[in-house]
Structure 1
Amino acid sequence: MAGITNAAYRRLCREQGAGLYVCEMITSRGLVEGDATTKQMLVFDELEDVRSVQLYGTDPAYVGKATEILCADYGVHHVDLNFGCPVPKVTRKGGGAALPWKRNLLGEILTAAVSAAARYGVPVTMKTRMGIDPEHLTYLDAGRIAEESGAAAIALHGRTAVQGYSGTADWAPIAELVEHVGIPVLGNGDIWEAADALRMVEETGAAGVVVGRGCLGRPWLFRDLAAAFTGTAGPGASGLVLPTLGEVRTMMYRHAELLSQHMGEERGCKEFRKHISWYLKGFSAGGDLRHALALVSSLAELERLLAELDGDEPFPTVVLGAPRGRQGSPRKRVVLPEGWLDDEDGTGLSLQEDADEVSGG
């Protein structure tokens, strides 16, 4: 969720419902070496009383040191290690979803992070995918190694790296992993509505769910999730209280307002532009208005344009359960370091993290 789960959006989602809201992915080497971009991303809202950060790295020493910095200097309460990113710039260096293939390396990284965090009483979790592709699955070994290393939980995305974000997530491996390990397993993949989360937990036995693209333009999804899991959802097929366009535009302004508070108004409004299409998906807002909103540069301009929306328009139920965000097609292959698949038990330590790696995925 690079460029999405900044302090402003985490605040907005927290205002809607209970949950753990994780900072954008940062690189361990960037943090250890004081990279300015990484430091800018490690900003927390004043009301963010539980600070959670997702950390990326391929070197145990850097990951361990970065974990210590997060706990000691930033007061982080939870560290999540990313072993699920499928993008080529990450996998070509042996990172993300490629890394669990190297079982020893995975264990060393987890052990380094858990050991560093333990001194501060901070739990470490990990997120991963089913594997590199159908012929190179890693999730069962990853779960075992996570448990042996002292990780507090493991989240499994029901897709392989070669799938990217295409197709439909396979939840069966999540259920298999639940039976395979003694630590909590969180399910990830195609949680578009609260009903999806309930069904995933029922079908897999997962201890909870991880939401990614499902909250794009839908911060109230966490309100729905809280209601569904506490049994307070309303009657009807979905149990949802769907917002009108008027309520959505109020949420849109609040989002831009929070971004402006954290980044300054000009930059905050520019950051907000990417969210317009997600918020208005399925609504009948005209093309000219959408275009103008996508160029908004001030809160006053945003308020004026939002006033042109029909506040009484009901939520478009046709988009319920529909994917949001990036999808694309499966890749032909996953880009990996040369010879990466030759040795499953190796450490891969000849691959050092680049100094110019950019946090944020």
Structure 2
Amino acid sequence: MKIGAMGVWPPVVLAPMAGITNAPFRVLCREQGGGLFVCEMITTRALVERNPKTLRMIRFAESESPRSIQLYGVDPDTVGRAARMIAEEDLADHIDLNFGCPVPKVTRRGGGSALPYKRHLLRRILRAAVANAGSLPVTMKMRKGIDDDHLTYLDAGRIAVEEGVAAIALHARTAKQHYGGVADWSAIARLKEAVPEIPVLGNGDIWCADDALRMVAETGCDGVVVGRGCLGRPWLFRDLANAFDGGAERARPTLGEVAAMMARHAEGLVECFDLERYAVADFRKHVGWYLKGFTVGGELRRELASAESLDQLREGLARLDHDQPWPPNTDTPRGKSGERGKVHLPDGWLDDPWDGAVPDDAESDTSGG
């Protein structure tokens, strides 16, 4: 798969996930197989203002190549400045634009999955990003639309092609669906038919490598984007690499191998954050994902999920049954799920889909979704 001049094989992308896809996690995933591994969502205003937290979030490990940054922005001028900064200061090799985030603090500003409804504003943002990115490929990730009555993905796809976007990823749910229900893979097929000029990547309900192959076969998409399916499972990228190369082998680590990966993950976070207590606390959310399906006593699970130091975590991991085999039937949904009652939007957002004005107070100064 080619994204601009950049070759990507296997055709797999790690979806940006707030609080998840930092450098330590990306390194663990990248070790398993190739593809693109995108950092957490970065707010354009915070980047151009050189917010210290944001600048830490775009640090890449020496082993990471190519380097991918996902930007979130609502003001075309700010998005353009951020793209120029990334290109001129060699901060990354690829820029992805977020038009898929469904969380209220993003959509109520007109950003994320709310923005493609405003066709002219979307065009202005894409034009500014591509014009300022120099030789870097610019891609976009989006959803089907706000809800079933306000679908935007086909219009957005054509606008993206016209403005020089190098590839499009579609999460085949609406913002209202959030992460609930079943992804509508038929929408991925329709988008591919509508924009044959550039790669289309499908996203949604890929829980194992065979799901990825099935999505490509059913939709004709050029590649896949994996999000929640890899939570606690960096090995999924090994499976994906094997699958796209025609291999049948699938990773089935023992609980001891999982424990070793958990320790490496936590240790990497400590190196990244430079504060052990904070890093170990950040790691706690991963414990349940790593241990999903394994037989582990409730008390030990609680200890691991409340550890306050690396030593505490290591002591708990040492008490696991390291010979326990990979559990069956674990290729099932992981992470957050459920549908939203409503999508939070700026006042009057749905009144005029062709309005290109930037909403008041649109640009957030905080990165990370």
- Deviations along 1:291-320, whole A, 9 cap, x unmatched? 111122332322221111111111111222
1:105 aligns with 2:121: yes
Point out 4+ residue stretches in structure 1 off by more than 6 angstroms: none
Distance 2:192 2:236 in 1: 25
Q: CA deviation at 1:336?
A: 0.9
Instruction: Tell me the distance in 2 between the aligned counterparts of 1:18 and 1:204.
Output: 22
TM-score, normalised to structure 1, is: 0.95
Q: Does 1:247 align with 2:261?
A: no
* CA offset digits 1:224-244 (Å, max 9, x no partner): 00000001223xxxxx23111
- Structure 1 distance, partners of 2:105, 2:307, is 31
Q: Which residue in 2 is equivalent to 1:276?
A: 287
| Structure 2 match to 1:122 | 136
- The CA deviation at 1:219 is 0.6
Q: Secondary structure at the match of 2:158?
A: helix
Q: Look up the SS of the partner of 1:80 in the other structure.
A: strand
The 5 A counterparts of 1:261-272 are: 261-264=271-274, 265-272=276-283
Amino acid at match of 1:353: A
Structure 2 residue 312 is matched with structure 1 residue 304: no
Question: In structure 1, what is the equivalent of residue 366 of structure 2?
Answer: 358
- The residue aligned with 2:5 is none
Distance in 2 (alpha carbons) for counterparts of 1:71 and 1:286: 50
3-state DSSP of counterpart to 2:36: coil
Instruction: State whether structure 2 residue 215 is matched by structure 1 residue 207.
Output: no
Task: State how 1:160-179 maps to structure 2 within 5 Å.
Answer: 160-179=174-193
Tell me, what secondary structure is at the counterpart of 1:140?
helix
Structure 2 counterpart of 1:59: 75
Question: What's 2:6 paired with?
Answer: none
1-structure distance, mates of 2:297, 2:252: 21
Q: Residue 115 of structure 1: CA displacement?
A: 0.8
CA offsets, 1:313-337, max 9 Å, x none?
11111222x1100002x22221111
Counterpart AA for 2:171: H
Paired position in structure 2 for 1:332: 341
Separation (CA, whole Å) in 1 of partners of 2:130 and 2:228: 28
Give the CA deviation at 1:346.
Answer: 1.1
Which stretch of the first structure deviates more once superposed, 105-114 or 291-300?
291-300
The secondary structure found in structure 1 opposite 2:170 is strand
| Residue of 178, 197, 203 corresponding to 2:212 | 197
Q: Does 1:290 align with 2:305?
A: no
Q: Residue 247 of structure 2 aligns to which amino acid in structure 1?
A: T
Deviates more, 1:339-348 or 1:95-104: 339-348
The amino acid across from 2:224 in the alignment is: V
Tell me how far apart the structure 1 counterparts of residues 174 and 302 of structure 2 sit (CA, whole Å).
Answer: 36
Q: Does 1:256 align with 2:266?
A: yes
Whole-angstrom CA distance in 2 between matches of 1:241 and 1:46: 26
How far is 1:268 from its partner? 2.2
Work out the number of aligned pairs and report it. 351
State whether residues 109 and 359 of structure 2, in contact with CA within 8 Å, keep that contact through their aligned partners in structure 1.
Answer: no
Structure 2 runs not aligned, ≥5 long: 1-16
Residue 69 of structure 1 pairs with residue 85 of structure 2: yes
Partners of 1:300 and 1:72 in 2: CA distance? 42
User: What is the CA distance between 1:203 and its match in structure 2?
Assistant: 0.4
**Aligned match for 2:32, one of 6, 9, 16:** 16
Q: Aligned-pair distance for 1:352?
A: 4.1
1:237 is aligned to none
Contact kept? 2:235, 2:251, Cα under 8 Å: no
1:348, CA displacement in angstroms?
Answer: 2.8
Give percent identity, aligned residues only: 61
- The equivalent position to 2:350 in structure 1, one of 320, 341, 346, is 341
Please list every run of 5 or more consecutive structure 1 residues that lacks an aligned counterpart in the other structure: 235-239
Which amino acid is 2:260 matched to?
T
Q: Partners of 1:279 and 1:298 in 2: how far apart?
A: 18
Please list the CA deviations of residues 61-103 of structure 1 after superposition, one character each: whole Å capped at 9, or x if unmatched: 0000011112222431000000001111111111101100011
Alignment partner of 1:63: what SS?
A: helix
| 1:188 and 1:210 in contact (8 A); partners too | yes
Distance between the aligned counterparts of 1:304 and 1:178, measured in 2?
50
Shift of 1:169: 0.5
What SS class does the counterpart of residue 350 from structure 2 fall into?
helix
Match of 1:79 in 2: 95
| Larger deviation, residues 26-35 vs 81-90 | 26-35
Q: State the one-letter code of the partner of 1:359.
A: S
- Quick check: 2:111–2:362 contact (8 Å CA) kept in 1? no
| RMSD between aligned residues | 1.2
Give the counterpart letter for 1:253 in structure 2.
A
With the length of structure 2 as denominator, give the TM-score of the two structures: 0.93
